[in-house]
Amino acid sequence: MNTALIAWLVLLAPGWVSPAPQDDPKPADAGKPDEESTKASKPPIVVDLTLKGTLAEAPSPLGLDGSPIEKNLPTLLGKIETAAKDDEVKALVLRFRDLAVGPGKANELRRAISDFRETGKPVVALLEMAGNADYWVASAADRVVMPESGSLMLSGLAAEVTFFKGLFDKLGVQPDYLQVGEYKGAAEPYTRTEMSPEFREELTAVLSDEFDLFIESIAEGRKLDAAVARALVDDGPYTASKAVEVGLVDELAYPDQVEEHLAEALGVKEVKLDEEYGEPEPEDYSGFAGFMKLLQELSGEGTKAAESKAPKVAVIYATGVIQAGKSSPGSFLGEAVMGSDTIVEQIEKAEQDETVKAIVLRVDSPGGSALASDLMWRAIVEAEKPIVASMSDTAASGGYYISMGCDSIFAEPGTLTGSIGVVGGKFALGGLLEKVGVTTDTVRVGENGALFSPFSPFNEEQEEAVRAMMEDTYRQFVSKAAEGREMEFDALEDLAGGRVYSGRKAKELGLVDELGTLEEAVAKAKALADLGPEVEVERLVLPEPKSIFESLSEAFDGMGIRAPVLGVESVLPEPIRSVAARAEALRKLVEREPAVLLLPFEVRIR
């Protein structure tokens, strides 16, 4: 038990250590209505969920009440699935607030909405100031509603890449990067002032495919011809009234009117909008007994639920930039880290659990360390239980590397994958230091003693040595991919070269096996484990979500500490935050190893 944390809690204890409330002298049944009349007067439940932000894949830390602190994608999908099966739930309202997800997550959400609608219960999408991602998902609902003052900011897709070479030239910083694979442009934002022809070609192809998916989804949801849907998008954006006029929105209504309309449709006087649906009951920490219970939980002595003996499919969340070591939620700039040690440990844990019959690796990663990717790949191919990869928005470069070791690969139609190539190098800061009057002097023993010095660029011999290492890493990548996909080396290499593909293009080329959601990947894992569709299985989520107590304890013990930033991340504009995060990730990766497997870009729909 962490003494510093106990001391902190004791300071708060007086509020908890209070006299227990006096028993109510009234009889237990006094004024209690009978069960039938309660049911009759109880308004039907309408689940009210808000969709906003990026909706991370990884399990969120748990709060005091045992519920996730962050509303991530698995939590949201789980609530929709539970509500669909709940007879007391009669409808679903989805409020959209600046959703910023990729095509993979958008497809997962659309599929969940579709499954809910199949139960015969209505789904209402409430938009206010809606962008492309909001409408991509909302168009799957029965009705799309918007207040009169709202706007539908529907538009085409655009990719704007920020280049820093001009800034670095002024500062005296020299990005000295090499790439293996003509389409492997992960370092181009730092080494060029504009896109290379290959980078532009690749990005255009990916965006065109994602835009086609966007149009097809709108056409399907709104029951429009694809050409009509494309024309409507090209004519955007729209005011709320204009969106109703052209058929993209069903009606103008305020939130309170949505409630009235739902009550009318359900034939009742009123409905109960439940914003807390699916949340666990909060723990009672009042009084001295509650305080002691809290201390027990902090010390790890709290009562844990008995482990189920039912068959399970373990879902291992492999998310973030790949690095050696432990996983972490990332820096204040927002880049989460997938640590090879953590993922290997989770695979071993699932292997040793006799109730786990199969494993699903849920991947959302642009790649990273070649070494860490290979260590995880090894653990996957050596596993005795079936492993299925389920790709989210992104599973490219190192993200594809770990997926290709699985028994079967599922991707969303819009997943970004492939990017089989290598980038490596360093930032040479000597020129910057000279500008501010700082000089360095080096004593070198051995020809390449200063190979990775941060003060000078590679000389010709050093560049040759680094390129040789990178080319060897590239050959390993292509060879293992060819083996996993049961293709000839030359055939796989024709698809490599750093090229990025959408999920459905990757399926066409044989780089993935199936297009489908996480749910379908779990079903495949069951089948590979010889469990019939009628067999009910539980999901074991790994790594297990940490409680707020465990997170605090780690912080006090000096583990997993992140420096306080006092809201700096909220001050930086989002595009700068994203670019800075990617640059910081690349810098850290190349400090440790010469060859990196990293996606050149990411696509986030707004």
Active-site residue, selected from the candidate residues 217, 373, 390, 397 = 397
- Band the pLDDT of 378: cuts 50, 70, 90: very high
* Pairwise CA distance, residues 504 & 508, whole Å: 6
Task: Dig out the tokens for 89 from the structure.
Answer: 């739930």
> What is the C-alpha R_g of the chain?
27
pLDDT tens for 469-509 read: 999 999 999 999 999 999 999 999 999 999 999 999 999 99
Question: By CB neighbour count within 10 A (0-12 exposed, 13-18 middle, 19+ buried), where does 558 fall?
Answer: exposed
The segment with the largest mean pLDDT, out of 210-214, 325-329, 597-601, is 210-214
Best CA proximity match to 523, nearest among 392, 378, 388:
388
Q: In the predicted model, what is the mean pLDDT of residues 536-559?
A: 67
The segment with the largest mean pLDDT, out of 204-213, 287-296, 432-441, 567-576, is 204-213
- What does pTM read for this prediction? 0.84
Which residues, 6 or more positions from 373, have their beta carbon under 8 angstroms from its beta carbon?
A: 322, 340, 367, 398, 401, 402, 597
pLDDT above 60 (res 306) = no
pLDDT above 90 (res 30) = no
pLDDT above 80 (res 270) = yes
| DSSP three-state, residue 203 | helix
Is 184 a residue of the active site? yes
Best CA proximity match to 106, nearest among 419, 503, 420:
503
**CA–CA–CA angle 83, 109, 579 (5° rounding):** 135
- Greater model confidence, 22 or 487: 487
Q: In the predicted model, what is the mean pLDDT of residues 320-324?
A: 92
- Preceding amide of 237 cis, omega within 30: yes
| Strand segments (E) across 31-188 | 45-53, 89-99, 123-126, 129-130, 143-146, 151-152, 174-180
CATH 3.90.226.10 range(s) for the chain read 11-17+35-155+236-274, 312-438+450-561+573-598
**Which pairing describes strands 151-152 and 238-239: parallel, antiparallel, or unpaired?**
antiparallel
Write the CATH number of the domain with boundaries 11-17+35-155+236-274. 3.90.226.10
- CA distance readout (Å), 535 to 355, 357, 538: 13, 12, 10
- Band the pLDDT of 450: cuts 50, 70, 90: confident
* Pairwise CA distance, residues 557 & 2, whole Å: 7
Q: Which residue has the tokens 């079903």?
A: 523
Give residue 59's pLDDT.
Answer: 73
- CA distance readout (Å), 597 to 17, 73, 93, 422: 55, 26, 41, 5
pLDDT tens for 157-183 read: 888 888 989 999 999 999 999 999 999
pLDDT above 90 (res 36) = no
pLDDT tens for 58-98 read: 776 665 555 556 678 999 999 999 999 999 999 999 999 99
Active-site residue, selected from the candidate residues 90, 121, 184, 480 = 184
Q: Which fold has domain 312-438+450-561+573-598?
A: 2-enoyl-CoA Hydratase; Chain A, domain 1 (3.90.226)
pLDDT above 90 (res 544) = no
SS3 content of the chain, % helix, strand, coil (to 5): 40, 20, 40
pLDDT, averaged across the chain: 83
Is 272 a residue of the active site? no
Give residue 453's pLDDT.
Answer: 86
